[in-house]
Amino acid sequence: MAYLQSMPKCETIEKREKYIGAACQLFFRSSPLKIVRGIAQFMYDETGERYLDCINNVAHVGHCHPHVVEAGRNQMSLISTNNRYLHDEIVVLAERLVNTLPAPLSVCFFVNSGSEANDLALRLARVHTKKKHVITLDHAYHGHLTSMIDVSPYKLNLPGGPEKPEWASVPDVYRGKYQYTRDSNCEEELGRLYADEIGKICNEASQENGGICAFIAESLQSCGGQIIPPDGYLKRAYDWWSMYS
């Protein structure tokens, strides 16, 4: 199946190089894909060539999911505005979300991106604890706002880069500081070893700079290598932070 091109691929590349910042990188620089359409797990280029999408991190339920498209179309045909007006959908969604959460998580803040969500979470943590310092994991990425770049070693692991925040080892049980077979055959034991680094940092921070306001971590570290933490790691890390917060 062929698709009409709005312009030749070479012209698209030329305009991108002219008008889009060089820091906004493409996949496959020497011969970038020009993707014009997506459906379910597939994407199509300008010639109609089909690709199985194993990399896209924004299409959580597949490309152009009919239920998502229909919901968006229906709402856009009614109104699209900010949430300072009273509206049924926002409170219904908030209620449904809260019903999936453990206590004491009981209210919602709706934002436009992960960067905004993490920035708000950090501001709330600093106001609540009256502390400033944050523990993060090495190679972590938490967003593009300045506050998030400051706690994302992924963006700071460069020669001459800014000083990194307090960070702990990535809980990688295959290539990390503590590994299967070499250090333990028990995943939970490896999780304990990694989480105890959080406890050590919290203890040192409580004595040196007033303590830690937050420990921030991806549930699955993405830019750091698609690392799934071992069983029990996040709970024990949270327990350590709670002890010193």
Task: Decide if pLDDT at 159 tops 70.
Answer: no
Write down the pLDDT at residue 164: 67
Spatial distance between the Cα atoms of 147 and 216, rounded to a whole number of angstroms: 12
> What value does the mean pLDDT take over residues 88-100?
96
What strand order describes the sheet that includes 166-168?
A: 166-168, 133-137, 212-215
Spatial distance between the Cα atoms of 243 and 9, rounded to a whole number of angstroms: 57
H or E segment at 207? helix 187-208
pLDDT confidence bin for 207, thresholds 50/70/90: confident
Q: 181 in the Ramachandran plot: left (φ > 0), alpha (ψ -120 to 50) or beta?
A: left
Spatial distance between the Cα atoms of 215 and 243, rounded to a whole number of angstroms: 12
Domains of the chain (ranges, CATH numbers): 1-80 (3.90.1150.10), 82-110 (no CATH), 114-244 (3.40.640.10)
Taking only Cα atoms into account, the Rg of the chain, rounded to an integer number of angstroms, comes to 22
What letter does residue 150 receive in the DSSP assignment? T
- Model confidence over 141-158: pLDDT tens digits? 898 888 988 888 877 666
Task: Decide if pLDDT at 183 tops 80.
Answer: no
- Model confidence over 6-29: pLDDT tens digits? 789 999 999 999 999 988 888 888
What is the token pair recorded at 57?
């991190």
